[in-house]
Amino acid sequence: MGGVGLARATILRIHLERCLAALLGVFLLYPSAEAAAEVSQAASHLSGYLKIDTVNPPGNESRGVAYLAGILDEHGIAYSTGESAPGRGNLWARLEGGDKPGLVLLHHIDVVPADLAYWDFDPLSGEIRDGYIYGRGALDTKGLGIVQLEAFIALKESGQALNRDVWLIATADEEAGGAFGAGWMIENHPEVFSDVGFLLNEGGGVQKFGEEMAVMVEATQKVPLWLRLRSVGRPGHGSAPQVETSVTRLVRAAHRIAETQFEPRLVPTVKAMFQGLAPLQAEPLAQAFADPGSAIQDEEFMLALQFETPELNALFRNTCSVTRLEGSAKINVVPSEAYAELDCRLLPDQDPEAFILELGRIISDEAVTIERIMGFTPAVSSTDTGLFEAIEATSADFLPGSHVVPSVSGGFTDSHFFRDMGIVSYGYAPFVLESVERRGIHGNNERISVENMDRGSLIMTSLLERFTVD
């Protein structure tokens, strides 16, 4: 039986045993989105998950742990939990298998804040309407977490012998760097990862290019380097402007950095990504993607790319965004010190210390110092693996004609923790998203379709069976 048929049979048999005949209709007949929303277990689980307030800060991920634990309890699956700090919960569960290197399904429980004034729905409502489930975290990453959970449960209840351990892990704090989540897990529970060789996490997805699709599998990331600028000067009263103050120095330094376009250059992983996408582009983009080394020398092309798709432009250069400013506590006081924070993202081969020295030369002011807040190491996961082959085969089953493309993420995820340990880690989400939907990530009206949740559960189940069942 092929991957599609095996995954479908597994899920349908499980739900038939639970006497949910209506769900059989969803998977085999695919009725209207409204009807699917009424009966879909994946949509129902996600709706409930989105109602759990795990906004970080402060996180309160233990609430999410309790919700996931309740679902695992219903299916008789053992799990462990642990708090890295009060309320900062993490969960891990294992399906035991053979002695091949284990596989981890990872997602994070915390979500970023949302401004209700700019949403059409309560961000914590989990409302299902017109075939979509709305809520903060629907895409980042509670939706992926529920799809992983559905596949994990289906694999367990299929009764098939596994050739390796399969872990389901839900962590805290990814949105703030992961110290209370993935980082804490590695430090305090290294036994979980002692026999793990592979990990699936956020960072990928299926992009549509006209009638064609690209399954983007994230294999590496730009390296985050978060910095704080500190400027000093003579304090005074706002009614008596000085020639130069901590604030004027800071504004000048921040402006110089914001106006700097770092030299574009091509690293191998980015080259492979663009060449993989080239067949899906119309001219003249197809030619530029096929030969990105020449394209990045064209200033007009790079400017157009930055206007149209700044996330792609950023893959060709180091970048810094000025994101926070802090000065006086009172409007009429010139402060002794002023601060700015920078979100810098470096190409994987960039030496961070050399980059900080370059920023110092750009600022050119001894009264402005640079402090490192956070930085990670670069790491790349090989795509010459059985797991990547399984992703390709599963994509061919469910998304015929799609192109599986290794990709580079301009953002960062918890995968870097595990790549540093030698664990092959891919960003992979079996969701076909329109561009308007992708804008919901950290944006307004974040949502995912019921169809994506149901199809994603099938795809993830098929992938797990293909990779973990001989």
**pLDDT mean for each 10 residues of the chain (470 residues):** 51 43 34 48 97 98 98 98 98 98 98 97 96 97 98 98 98 96 98 98 94 95 96 97 97 97 94 95 92 95 92 95 97 97 95 97 97 91 97 97 95 94 98 91 97 98 97
Within 10 A of 329 (CB to CB), how many other CB atoms are there?
Answer: 7
Burial class from Cβ neighbours inside 10 Å (0-12, 13-18, 19+) for residue 162 reads buried
Q: What residue type is assigned to position 199 of the chain?
A: L
CATH 3.40.630.10 given to domain 3-203+413-468: yes
Taken as a whole, the chain contains a residue count of 470
Q: 147: closest CA among 362, 463, 380?
A: 463
Contact 141, 107 (CB under 8 A): yes
CA atoms within 13 A on the CB side of 21: 0
Contact 246, 336 (CB under 8 A): yes
Q: What residue type is assigned to position 323 of the chain?
A: T
CA distance 248 to 225: 24
Fold of 223-268+276-375: Alpha-Beta Plaits (3.30.70)
List the domain boundaries for the chain: 3-203+413-468, 223-268+276-375
Chain-centroid distance, C-alpha 137: 11
Count of helices and strands (H, E) across the chain: 18, 19
Q: 70: closest CA among 99, 55, 85, 49?
A: 49
Q: At what angle do helices 450-468 and 41-50 cross, to 10 degrees?
A: 110
What is the SS3 assignment for 13?
helix
CA distance 59 to 111: 8
End-to-end CA distance of the chain: 13
Q: 418: closest CA among 468, 463, 379?
A: 379
pLDDT for res 284: 87
pLDDT for res 9: 52
CA distance 299 to 438: 28
**pLDDT tens-digit map of 121-133:** 999 999 999 999 9
Cis amide bond preceding 58, omega within 30: yes
**For residue 82, what are the β-bridge partners?**
90
Contact 449, 142 (CB under 8 A): no
pLDDT for res 416: 94
Q: 348: closest CA among 380, 381, 383?
A: 380
Burial class from Cβ neighbours inside 10 Å (0-12, 13-18, 19+) for residue 118 reads exposed
pLDDT for res 5: 54
**For residue 372, what are the β-bridge partners?**
227
Listed in sequence order, the DSSP H helices in 159-267 are 182-188, 246-258
CA distance 92 to 114: 28
Q: 406: closest CA among 266, 274, 267, 216?
A: 216
pLDDT for res 34: 44
pLDDT for res 401: 94
pLDDT for res 23: 35
